[in-house]
Amino acid sequence: MIGRLNHVAIAVPDLAAASAMYRDVLGAEVSEPLPLPGHGVTVVFVGLPNTKIELLQPLGDASPIAPFLARNPSGGMHHVCYEVDDILAARDRLKAGGARVLGDGEPKLGAHDKPVLFLHPKDFTGTLIELEQA
């Protein structure tokens, strides 16, 4: 059901500093910041030959990333994103198997303007999983 790894997301307290570290120290190509008010984050993408790293910072106090950074003030890995061919079919199969889909269970548009869903980390060995329609 799951396809390729789309990205690994890292929550950061300072997006500009994290972007500079990846760009200037590691020599990576880093996108411009993209605010995503519907998700409560601002993101940048670090391009790698085989996938991407998504750096995300809270956008406002109500951001779902804010509690994560309160527990992990230096930042850290937040989620992994896998591609699926049909997000609704994947959702239905996962729910039938007992997995919990976060939110209202309906896909939202993600940073790549494609439908995304998040799966409860307690169902996947402590890892928050994002599914993105390929």
DSSP assignment of 61-84: TT-THHHHHHHSTT-EEEEEEEEE
- Picking from 21, 27, 126, 111, the residue whose alpha carbon sits closest to that of residue 79 is 126
pTM score: 0.93
14 pLDDT above the threshold of 90: yes
Q: What is the pLDDT of residues 36-60, one digit of tens each?
A: 998 999 999 999 999 999 999 999 8
Q: Which of 29, 32, 106, 130 is catalytic?
A: 130
pLDDT at 61: 85
Q: Which domains does the chain have, with CATH numbers?
A: 2-133 (3.10.180.10)
Active site residue 29: no
